[in-house]
Amino acid sequence: MTWLDRVLVWAMPGYCSFCLAGAGDSPWCEQCLVGLPWHVSGCPVCSEPRPASVPSHVICGHCLKRRPDFDQSWVPFLYEDEIAQLIQRFKFNADRRAGQILLQLMVHAFDVQHGPEHVQAIVTADLHLSRARERGFDQTRWLGQRLAHALDLPLYRATRRRQTPTQRGLSRSARQRNVRHVYHVTSALPPCVLLLDDVMTTGATLDALSRACREKGAEHVTACAMARTPAGRAI
């Protein structure tokens, strides 16, 4: 979408953010919604994408080898096409319009895909202050505040004990080492919590966050992200 297209979307409410066709009260038309890269088949633990022919209860090889700390995951989209573009604009360009569309898509997905049940709170992991300043805002906290409000759930935040190198481009094992023992939750948590991140690649960040949440009373942990990277692809 060009700069002019984005301006027109802002100026013309009721039009699809993807094709600019009439869209009523939603920021998308039905055709574009159906055509988004929905994540329809993945490991029940880490959501790694796999062929639809694999039974939904079968756990992937990565989780059999080293099961993450969280109990299950829920990720409605693949990190591809329009969703990847929205996340990149939101995450790296501080584009609140893109964030608002992603938020509404998440809430919609909770309704149509029957999101995780019995969740009592949402937990997000704060960016280190220096990285939040570099990007202009903390995108996960921004999304978490609004999703918690939309779902009528309390929001808890985990802080970072130290700054870490970016996860982008790191291998699975390097990602796990990079975030080990990095998160700290100060408040006691209810038994069932939902961990929220923007993109899930190997699940290392959410795994580390889950361990910090267990220390504060969480018993059943669901990892959640807007999108999952395809198998074998790191960002």
**88-136 pLDDT per residue, tens:** 999 888 888 899 999 999 999 998 877 888 999 999 988 766 666 666 6
Q: What is the pTM of this model?
A: 0.84
- pLDDT given at position 15: 79
Domain boundaries, the chain: 1-35, 42-228
Better pLDDT: 136 or 12 = 136
Q: Report how far residue 168's alpha carbon sits from residue 159's, in angstroms, rounded to the nearest whole number.
A: 20
Q: How confident is the model at residue 5 (pLDDT cuts 50, 70, 90)?
A: very low
Q: What is the CA radius of gyration of the chain?
A: 17
pLDDT at residue 3 is higher than 90 = no
> Which ranges constitute the DSSP H helices of the chain?
3-11, 30-35, 61-65, 81-93, 96-112, 129-135, 139-151, 172-178, 204-214
- Tell me the mean pLDDT in the region 164-180: 58
- Tell me the mean pLDDT in the region 29-49: 94
Closest CA to 200 of 75, 91, 59, 86: 75
- pLDDT given at position 8: 43
Spelled out in words, what is the top-level CATH class assigned to the domain 42-228?
A: alpha beta
